[in-house]
Chain A
Amino acid sequence: MPLYPDVASTTTNFDVRQTIHPNRLRSMWLLLVGYRPRYVAAVAALGLAGVMNTLSLLLLAYLVDDVLVAQPENFLTLLALIAAVYVGLSIVRGLFAFVSGALAGQVSEAVALRLKDFLFDHIQRLTFSYHDKMPTGELIQRVTSDIDAVRRFFAEQAIGLGRIVLLFLINFSALMLLDWRLTLFSVAVVPVIGVMSLFFFRRVERAYDAFQEQDGVVSATLQENLSGVRVVKAFARQDFEVNRFEKENHKKFDLGKAFMMLHAVYWPVTDTLTGLQMAAGFAVGALMVINDQLTLGVFVTYMAMLGWIINPIRELGRLIVQISTGLVSFDRIASVVRNERELLGEGEPAPVSDLKGSVRFEHVTFAYEDGKPVLHDISFDVPAGQTVALLGSTGSGKTTLMALLTRFYDYTEGSIQLDGVDLREYPRHFLRANIGVVQQEPFLFSRSIRENITYGVQRAVSDEEVYAAARAAAVHDVIMEFPDGYNTIVGEKGVTLSGGQKQRVALARTLLKNPRILILDDATSSVDTHTESEIREALETMMTQRTTFIIAHRIQSVMIADQILVMDKGRIVQRGTHEQLMREDGIYRQTYEMQAQIEAELESELANV
């Protein structure tokens, strides 16, 4: 049992899913796997510290009766002996208290570490559908305040409850042994205080919730005012705003006062009860001493011990309320943990040979939600190395179609084959390593540009490789213009990149990965025509070696494709090369004609100014 900080090896790879149990206390116990002896020892040590404390109080009885009152011959020797024993008991008590605190601290931090590591991994492995539905703020809440609540459950609450119970039992038994009638008389008030405590802290909890809620309203009012500052100023509505804030702020003030008033009543009331109980107990005890029914020493011990029984009970309700909030936090964590992960490669052998890149869709249907298919009966065939273009308006299903290929979502009906093998037989990791996607609105991390480009490859990458990828994405020169070059941090903390620049950095990131299949989802929509042709030139060599999908809505972007699929409302409505499609009557030619018509309209518009 190492007491000094040291990371226990068991914390890694702990599977929190195994701790999910209908009985939440059972779940908490399961979370402690590997640490149970330590945690039990922590509680036991606390009890032993309590025993030492009680023993030193009993020592007082001996000191008074057999030494101070009896005044034996070896008075000074006994006095020195008692003092030494007292110090000895304190040292042992201190050791137990330290061991308890250190163990409880270690166990609670280790449980928090387990939860943090597990949830990080779990969340990044949850499905796309889950992330589509779950707001970021909600998940952040789970992994920060809820984990901390569980940590506090182990660090403070569970052990605190143990402390109250043990202190009561130990001191109560000791007192009972000294004089059971006086003891029973003296704890008459304990059940009353216990019940009051439970009742009171429940009330406080409710009052505090109301107070917190109003605090949220105050905060929301402020935020609104701050984000609408121009409107406030432009309409000269400062006074109106001040009144609005004042109203909410004052309401919170009132709720706060009410909440504090509950405390201001509870503590003095229990103080009075405790005080009167002690006064009565002391009076009875003192009378018993006067009537020789009790020794003076026992009475002195009794006076010291009584507080150790009554005072902890006043905190009982607080701990029980806190324990229930800790358990609720665990419930919220469990609701994240219960969701199924995406299988990335576990248990599925990756194919031995390299991917060639032929793709075949057969009657594929897909729905995000049951009964609402967004893709209907999609069939097409792409030989390895071909360039395929998907053309269609927003919402026609182009992006969804491509998301099936990387198994971001699994199709509901039909089959997809890659190199003649059903897609579902490939591990997702393998697919994603071999298929590169550049999204329309790419996400970059708040890190340096270099880190963003090398983000996808888990090996040391030379500067030359990074530059080559950036050049192919026509973004190298732009990056070199930044003062810090490739070390420029992007995002809020650093430079804000334009939409086009972001797309090109994301393109470089994908190219560095060197995928067999390339999906460009409107990847050049945010760049001007000059840059677009630059990128296209750079991509041309790359595209000849790879199966490439281009998603676009401009005819110029798709003309060069070997095969063009025209999509509308989740179906493929036309297919062929540019020349073939131009001969057909359909969306493709209409689109082409509309683009021509726009030019004509512009001509006439300009002529008629």
Chain B
Amino acid sequence: MSNHDFEEEEFHKSMNASTLWRILAMLRRYKRLTAAFLIAIALVAFIEAFLTRLGAAIIDEAIIPRDGQRLLEIMALYAFMSVLLAVMVFVFIAAAGRLGQQVTYDLRRIMFNHLQTLSLKYYNKTAVGWIMSRVNSDSERIADLVSWGLLDVTWAVMNMITAFLFMFSINWQLTLVVMPFVPILLFVANWFKNKILYEYRESRRFNSQITGGYNEMITGVRVIKAINREDASLAEFGTLTRKMYTASYRAAWFSALFLPSIYMISSLAVAIIMLVGGSAVQDAATTGMTIGGLNAFIGYITFMMWPVQELARVYANMQHAIASAERAFSLIDAQADIVDQPDALELDEIRGEIVFENVTFRYDPDGQDILRDFNLTIRVGETIALVGHTGSGKSTIVNLLCRFFEPTEGRILINGRDYRQYTLHSLHSKLGIVLQTPHLFRGTIRENIRYGRLAATDEQVERAAQLAGAYDFIMSLDKGFEEQVGESGVLLSTGQKQLISLARAILAEPELFVMDEATSSVDTLTEGLIQRGMEAIMHGRTSIVIAHRLSTIKSANRIICLDHGQIIEMGSHRELILKRGYYYNLYTKQFRRERAIAYGLETTTESETETLGV
């Protein structure tokens, strides 16, 4: 992890209306739920305003005329409205909660399903962490916008409207007097919103840097200790935490100032109501202003302060959600660049040769050629070993062969036909693949092997494990095939993981076997088992191996030495040794190393293989 994992663009400068529409369009499938939710929230605002109106009625219609009967009627209505309010509250919480969960669920499903169709090109240029954030957090933020965000906005608007409607119905002149306060309140709230958000962003930015600082210190703590850098590191870190303190304190300061300012402005409105409304009460006969009405007016002004207070929060959340949505939609809109052609055929069997015909390939349109004018014919049943330095093009050949990528120029023929004419699924169903760092999924060993052929019986799974040489070590585990692997399961060595993925590949009964040998050290016993497993699967099958071990290289029918995307030597082990060229050098170097390891004189580390160049 580096610092930059913690630094993500959190905010967006402007609101993008089309993104907002697209977010709201997610609700189209839930029209009834959305309608119920909006109606409920509108009714809540209305009933709340109505209850204040009833308060006025208690005073004007019951208390002042001393009418006990009327009081009971009003109170019955009040109680009924309270219960109705509760029912509406139930509806909007249930509906908003449901919508929020539903949209998160939908977004995650859509993104996950879409991710399955994207090509490796996408994965190559997109960090896993980035994708994870889109699926995990952006989906939640978008869902929050369509549920709670929508709620806040609807409620705020309805609150204002109903408050004014009731005020007009009580006394329109007084309503006109207090009306100018609304734009003033909104203006002030908006000013504070900008201030608070600015400081908040600053503090978030420093916060990311602080997390980055911790990360650097914890991962590098041994170096810091070895070179006595504690004090300097702390001083460096201290400047960051101080900046963060200042920014977040400023944010807290403006937030603390915000509400009181709103109170004070609205208290001016209340004072005006007292003065103007109060004198109107004096000539109630002409003005129609009552004590209850006056009281209700004060209630409505207080009532309208709530949405104004929430303005900053709601606005910030909306900005957040829109920025999230833009990133999430960019994932959803990403085009898979490898797709089936409209009239694609099913590849039923790889009968003939696989031919690379003048293949040129680059990952990036403007980048360097990784392969240039590459030609190769792979015969049926042949085992080919690819050797060469990192970056020589070995993995690219495998990626092209598996159609994880397609040639930039030239073509690849299977059964005499450009492989782009076949469906991806039918080609991939013919593949068996074992990766350098074998990937196992969470679940049991049995489930992991069965991944190769979902319909396989337990016997077939175990038979595959036997062929792969994995059976004995699996049985030595406490729960055997039912042992959990992955993060929460047993710790397996790389070698053991390779054995399991070999078994998985064997179970798939592939027509084309692809393996990227592990470079990290594997103990001799496991190494022998892997060797046997590989022989079992390669026997009679077309196989391509990115080879790191001499035994594999030697047993191949053909060895291809690659350098800068071109074949520099090709032939059998014997031919190439006698040539005393590139392969010869590579072989002698590797021979010394493997023996030294076998004799316990050396150990391999990941970094060593880099210079080893195999």
Contact = CB atoms under 8 A, between A and B. Distances in A.
29 contacts: A60-B295, A63-B278, A68-B278, A68-B294, A80-B275, A83-B274, A86-B267, A93-B260, A94-B259, A97-B260, A102-B253, A102-B256, A112-B248, A116-B244, A117-B238, A120-B237, A136-B219, A143-B211, A223-B128, A234-B514, A238-B117, A249-B109, A268-B86, A275-B81, A275-B83, A282-B78, A303-B295, A455-B223, A526-B607
Contacts of A500: 607, 610-611
Majority SS of interface residues in chain B?
A: helix
Contact of B578 (A7, A275, A609): A609
A400 to B, nearest CB: 14
Nearest to B454: A240
Given A263-B93, A271-B86, A121 B253 contact: no
Given A79-B274, A223-B132, A241 B116 contact: yes
B278 A225 contact: no
A437 B225 CA distance: 11
A393 B274 contact: no
B601 A433 contact: no
Contacts of B217: 120, 123-124
A261 B94 contact: yes
Contacts of B232: 458
Contacts of B90: 264-265, 267-268
Contacts of B98: 257, 260
Interface string B129-164: 001100110000000000000000000000000000
Interface string A209-245: 0000001001111111111111111111110111001
B407 interface: no
A269 B93 CA distance: 12
Interface in A172-224: 215, 218-224
B428 interface: yes
Interface in B296-311: 298-299
Interface in B375-403: 402
Interface stretch (A315-323, A416-424, A559-567, A590-598): A590-598
Interface stretch (A69-77, A367-375, A460-468): A69-77
Given A120-B233, A283-B72, 8 more contacts: A220-B487, A257-B98, A264-B93, A275-B83, A282-B78, A287-B68, A394-B603, A442-B223
B228 interface: yes
A601 B108 contact: no
A432 B225 contact: yes
Contacts of B105: 249-250, 252-253, 256
B227 to A, nearest CB: 3
A446 B115 CA distance: 31
Size range of the chain B interface in the assembly:
35 or more
B234 A124 contact: yes
B230 A64 contact: no
A591 B228 contact: no
A256 B220 CA distance: 40
A267 B227 contact: no
A218 B237 CA distance: 35
Contacts of A249: 105, 108-109, 112
A478 interface: no
Contact of B260 (A98, A553, A609): A98
A480 interface: no
Contact of A432 (B68, B226, B605): B226
A335 interface: no
A136 B223 CA distance: 15
B281 A68 contact: yes
Contacts of B439: 227-228, 230-231
Given A455-B227, A525-B605, A63 B100 contact: no
Contacts of B402: 233-234
Given A117-B238, A289-B63, A296-B63, A445 B249 contact: no
B279 A79 contact: yes
A98 B257 CA distance: 5
Nearest to A509: B227
Interface stretch (A20-28, A103-111, A538-546, A572-580): A103-111
B271 A609 contact: no
B86 A499 contact: no
Contact of B272 (A83, A131, A290, A408): A83
B132 A232 contact: no
Contacts of A80: 275
A55 interface: no
B120 interface: yes
Interface string A429-440: 100110001011
B278 to A, nearest CB: 4
Nearest to A344: B230
A446 B580 CA distance: 42
A260 B97 contact: yes
B256 A101 contact: yes
Contacts of A94: 259-261, 263-264
B608 A225 contact: no
Contacts of A120: 213-214, 217, 233-234, 237, 241
B233 A443 contact: no
Interface string A457-493: 0100000000000000000000000000000000111
B108 A124 contact: no
A144 interface: yes
A96 B208 CA distance: 33
A246 interface: yes
A67 to B, nearest CB: 7
Nearest to A283: B75
B226 A526 contact: no
Contacts of B94: 260-261, 264
B82 interface: yes
B198 interface: no
B123 A226 contact: yes
Contacts of A491: 2
Contacts of A235: 428, 431, 433, 451-452, 504, 508
A433 B432 CA distance: 55
Contacts of B250: 5
B123 A242 contact: no
A300 B68 CA distance: 18
Interface stretch (B15-23, B358-366, B536-544, B592-600): B592-600
B352 interface: no
B64 interface: yes
Q: Of A128, A246, A445, which is in contact with the most chain B CB atoms at under 10 Å from its CB?
A: A445
Nearest to A79: B278
B557 interface: no
Contacts of A110: 245
Interface in A22-67: 56, 60, 63-64, 67
A95 B264 CA distance: 10
Contact of B596 (A303, A304, A493, A595): A595
Nearest to A457: B227
B425 interface: yes
B253 A4 contact: yes
A406 B224 CA distance: 13
Given A231-B435, A245-B112, A393 B601 contact: yes
Contact of A499 (B230, B237, B432, B605): B605
Contacts of A279: 75, 78-79, 82
Contacts of A143: 211, 214
A121 B274 contact: no
A586 interface: no
